[in-house]
Amino acid sequence: MAPSSQHAPKPGQPPQPAKPPAAKPPPLPAENVNLNDGVDSGSATTRRLAKLYREKMLARGVQIPNPPPPPPTPLSNPLARTLLEAGGEVISKHVTKCVVKHVCATRVSKFYSLGGCLSEVEAMRFVSSYTSIPVPRVYAAGEQHFTMEFIEGETLAQAWGNTLSAEDKTLVCRQLRDYISQLRAIKSPNGLICSFGGRPVVDARRRSSYKGGPFTNEAAYNDFLVSDLIGPSKIRDMIRRQMRADHEIVLSHGDLHDINIMVRPGVGVVAIIDWEKAGYYPEYVDLLTPLRMAQWSCGYYEELLNFFPQHYDAEFMVDQVLSQWSRH
């Protein structure tokens, strides 16, 4: 077949290659795109892109609301800025909290971006008064920060494989077994399951710190734990049927990971810190919570199994399944 006149070369000229079809412009984003995914919503670039996106969608007749303002950071606290300007140092930083060491080097202040520090302060003062567990002394507290003594030491995560001798590890394990026993000896008033001070419980499996309660019995607490599971209801019911409702409700730290235990060679445990998740929970919580994200290279986690009167095998299996099926 002869080429069409549109592409036919003139006499005496070589044939010209056909032009590729023009590229189509990329489609506009879908209406449910979240402009904050993976991007700092407070940055100028993000605000500019968000404005452009809203203008384009408005031209298509779709109204897009303005994004919410970014949440405050812990370091936006006026006291935190004052401490840093005076020569203080950030020694721990998280999305919603941070710890600033004062220039005097004997005190630290812990700051929260969303409040909620009073529960931790009350728990620390209670534990200091009614047990021999070493806890930093609290000097002052506000709605979003508190100041406590600075205790020199390393986290157990840092020290276990480096600075602790075999004798030190034996001492640390003996101390921790005693401290956990002291906590477990303090029962919940009226069997209430709650964060410290009668506040709602927190399910740490959820990144958004899923809260509920307080609960007057363990059956209601178990219902709460399965209330946010993904998947079909039959799966949720299968899990729920494996959960006991007759555990003792005891005072629990709520986050006994190795990074929350401070130690020194020759002394052993010098402080247990981060009591923000403390409360009255079923007796297995202080064992199973650290095992969810255990760093098994640190021998503490294997020893932890020996600090409790039983291993809670069935509860461990249920806890692992809950972690897999929880809506994160």
194 and 140 within one domain:
no
Do the domain assignments include residue 22?
Answer: no
State the pLDDT confidence band at 4, using cuts at 50, 70 and 90. Answer: very low
On the question of pLDDT at 27 being above 50, the answer is no
Q: How many percent of the chain have pLDDT more than 70?
A: 82
For the ranges 59-73, 171-185, 281-295, the lowest mean pLDDT is seen at 59-73
Do the domain assignments include residue 166?
Answer: yes
305 and 188 within one domain:
yes
Q: How far out from the chain centre does Cα 173 lie?
A: 26
224 and 190 within one domain:
yes
170 and 119 within one domain:
no
- Compute the distance between CA of residue 62 and CA of residue 81 in angstroms, rounded to an integer: 42
Q: Please give the residue that has the higher pLDDT: either 64 or 188.
A: 188
On the question of pLDDT at 8 being above 70, the answer is no
Do the domain assignments include residue 143?
Answer: yes
308 and 221 within one domain:
yes
The encoded tokens of residue 213 equal: 């309660």
292 and 262 within one domain:
yes
165 and 201 within one domain:
yes
- Selection from 141, 126, 132, 147 nearest residue 195 by Cα: 126
Mean pLDDT of 253-278: 97
Do the domain assignments include residue 27?
Answer: no
Amino acid at 35: L
Q: Which of 149, 165, 195 corresponds to the end of one domain?
A: 149
296 and 158 within one domain:
yes
Give the residue numbers spanning the domain of 103: 74-149
Mean pLDDT of 13-34: 48
In this structure, what CATH number is given to the domain that contains residue 144?
A: 3.30.200.20
Q: Please give the residue that has the higher pLDDT: either 172 or 26.
A: 172
Q: Please give the residue that has the higher pLDDT: either 47 or 14.
A: 47
244 and 107 within one domain:
no
Q: Express each pLDDT in 99-112 by its tens digit.
A: 999 999 999 999 99
Do the domain assignments include residue 6?
Answer: no
Cross-strand partners of 112: 97
276 and 162 within one domain:
yes
On the question of pLDDT at 287 being above 80, the answer is yes
On the question of pLDDT at 15 being above 60, the answer is no
296 and 184 within one domain:
yes
Do the domain assignments include residue 302?
Answer: yes
pLDDT of amino acid 25: 46
261 and 132 within one domain:
no
The tally of domains found in the chain comes to 2
The encoded tokens of residue 299 equal: 């021998």
Q: How far out from the chain centre does Cα 151 lie?
A: 23
| pTM of the complete model | 0.78
Q: Express each pLDDT in 189-218 by its tens digit.
A: 999 999 999 999 988 776 556 789 999 999
In this structure, what CATH number is given to the domain that contains residue 168?
A: 3.90.1200.10
Q: Which of 149, 170, 195 corresponds to the end of one domain?
A: 149
Do the domain assignments include residue 10?
Answer: no
Do the domain assignments include residue 36?
Answer: no
- Selection from 46, 94, 87 nearest residue 67 by Cα: 46
State the pLDDT confidence band at 28, using cuts at 50, 70 and 90. Answer: very low
On the question of pLDDT at 6 being above 60, the answer is no
Q: Which of 149, 182, 202 corresponds to the end of one domain?
A: 149
Q: Express each pLDDT in 117-165 by its tens digit.
A: 899 999 999 999 999 999 999 999 998 999 999 999 999 999 999 999 9
For the ranges 19-28, 70-79, 99-108, 307-316, the lowest mean pLDDT is seen at 19-28
- Compute the distance between CA of residue 242 and CA of residue 85 in angstroms, rounded to an integer: 54
On the question of pLDDT at 40 being above 90, the answer is no
CA 288 to each of CA 206, 281, 313: distance values in angstroms, whole numbers, following the listed order: 15, 12, 10
On the question of pLDDT at 33 being above 70, the answer is no
